[in-house]
Amino acid sequence: MHPSPALPIAALPDDVGVLQELVRGLVASHQAERQRNTELQERIDQLLRRLYGVKSDKLGQNQPSLFDGLEEGQPPAADQPPPPPPEPEPVPNQRRRSAHGRRKIPDNLSRVTRTVDFTPTELSALGGEWKRIGEEVSEKLDYKPSTLFVSQLVRIKYRVTSPDGRESIHVPGMPPEALPKTMAANGLLADVVVSKLVDHLPVYRQVNRHARQGVHLSRSTLCDWLMDTADVLMPLYLLLKDRVLSDWVLFTDDTPVRVQELEKCRLGRLWVYCSRFGTVYDATPDRCRDGPVRFLAGFEGYLQCDAYAGYNEVFALARGKVIEVGCWAHARRKFVEAENSALLESHEAVARIRALYQIEESIKGLDAAGKLAARVRDAVPLLENLKAWLDKVKARSLPKSRLMEAVNYALNQWDALVAYTTNGDCAIDNNTAERAVKPFAIGRKNWLFFGSDRGGRALAILASFTETCKKFGINPWQYLKDTLDRLPVTPREDLHTLLPSCQPVPQSA
């Protein structure tokens, strides 16, 4: 393999900051390559030892022992040098770094108190006059497994005798419930949802957990509970969707999820939409553009997304009312993938993009107006230089190379990639949405697939509430239980008060 010819010095950037980032990137790449080569060499050596080395931990047959001829207890020969003196013990550093202190146990946890006192025998043995002056309290965190219990509702039954002698039986009516025909109370329903979507615990593992307490439930029963809970929360889901889409900056992304269909699985799609007001999910049978077009109907503002062509229909139908905002993380990833074929150009591109991220890091605490002013002042000139550099690289790159793919991606998306400099509420990348799809990426490694399209939609509804609770720092179990308790007695015009963004942060029991 012949080394690639060195680029002329004129091809290097003139900007000192870009040059520094380029050097840092090349050094980091070189160190990573050396580390990778070292690890590969260690693996090769280990494989060679396994193939051709000694199969047991024994000394070699032809290797004499260092202690041959020295009987047990026999002192060494006189001509042998004395053993070296023991090394002095190191003096401990007086300025030792203080260890991390133990965190205080939260006050909202319930306390189970056990009192320890002297026995009457000890008191009489010690003698003297005893007067209590206080107590010493020590606390330790303890745990008991989650416990199933039966919530009984007792309705008093009356036999009423009227003045004319007729008798009748009267029993108070059942209080309104979210799921009156389900044997599970609201606390258990909330636990099934949180275990599935927050703790990524498949239904069959929940069944086994309850079986250890002697309660045998079927997987189909728990699946029905998830479906019924999603159906009950549908009105709130629609309100949450409207609230999320009412913001003028929206982040969206999608991830594949397998859907069970007869005896095989096909690939479905889960979409996420994030704004300042919460997070909502939508499940579709495929990645067709109809999914985002239907969901985003009526939205106006900035839509931050990747370069998926299905969003083009959204922008076309909006007639300029929806502005596309690109993702620099996706553009940077393309150049990272081109590192092996074009080392210098890929590192320079990453260095230039890193300079844009450094600006975002420096303005993180500013409001929208301050961010916008800083981007116009600092980022726009860097973007103009980057655009000119990309045009030069495109003119001298091979058409089918990885580098050309990265350059074309950036140039084709250029208007969307620079749109974040026109609004301080926009972000430089779409990582907000990518973080929101991560729970499903983790969850599908455990529960593997949606049982059906209807099951996928149910989980999308339920996950909208658990993820929004996470966004606002709300305990999802307490929110779901409280919402299922209040939902049947809340008038339709007041349902918006049950949305997670309106909830105070509950205190743990």
Residue 85 scores a pLDDT above 80: no
Tell me what pLDDT residue 69 has.
44
- The pLDDT > 90 percentage for the chain reads 47
Query: Residue 253: which residues within 8 A CB-CB, separation 6 or more?
Result: 271, 272, 305, 306, 430, 433, 434, 436, 437
- Please say if the pLDDT value at position 467 is more than 60: yes
Pairing of strands 278-284, 264-275: antiparallel
Work out the pLDDT band at 353, boundaries 50, 70, 90: very high
Chain-centroid distance of CA 120 in Å reads 57
Q: What is the CA angle 427-369-349, rounded to 5?
A: 40
State yes or no: pLDDT of 369 exceeds 80: yes
Contact 270, 279 (CB under 8 A): no
Calculate the CA dihedral of residues 31, 37, 41, 44 and round it to 10 degrees: 150
For the chain, what is the mean pLDDT? 84
Tens-digit pLDDT profile for residues 240-275? 999 999 999 999 999 999 898 777 888 899 999 999
Given a cut of 80, whether residue 486 has pLDDT beyond it is yes
DSSP secondary-structure letter at 450? B
Q: Which residues of 176-212 are buried (b: 16+ CB within 10 A; e: fewer)?
A: ebbbeebebbbbbbbbbbbbbbbebbbbeebbeebee
Mean pLDDT of 371-398: 93
* Whether the Cβ atoms of residue 200 and residue 447 lie closer than 8 Å to each other: yes
Identify the top-confidence range among 70-74, 123-127, 160-164, 380-384: 380-384
Nearest to 276 by CA among 302, 295, 296, 315: 302
Q: What is the pLDDT of residue 444?
A: 86
Distance in angstroms (rounded) separating the CA atoms of residues 106 and 195: 23
Identify the CA nearest to 192 among candidates 159, 168, 226: 226
Pair type for strands 301-304 and 278-284: unpaired
In the chain, what are the domain boundaries? 187-326+432-509, 327-429
Would you say residue 6 has pLDDT above 50?
Answer: no
Q: Where is pLDDT greater, at 64 or 124? A: 124
Note the pLDDT of residue 435. Answer: 92
Mean pLDDT computed over 94-115: 72
Q: What confidence category does residue 98 fall into, taking pLDDT thresholds of 50, 70 and 90?
A: low
Contacts of 502 (CB under 8 A, 6+ apart): 496
Angle between helices 476-486 and 186-197 (to 10 degrees): 140
Rounded Cα gap, residues 40 and 47, in angstroms: 11
Lowest mean pLDDT among 40-54, 193-207, 447-461: 40-54
How much is the pTM? 0.74
- Cα atoms in the 13 Å half-sphere on the side-chain side of 358: 11
Q: pLDDT-based confidence at 101, cuts 50/70/90?
A: low
Which residue blocks in 73-177 are alpha helix, DSSP H?
A: 120-126
328 sits in which H/E element = helix 328-337
Pairing of β 249-261 and β 301-304: parallel
Query: If pLDDT is split at 50, 70 and 90, which confidence band does 99 have?
Result: low
Of the pLDDT bands very low, low, confident and very high (cuts 50, 70, 90), residue 300 is very high
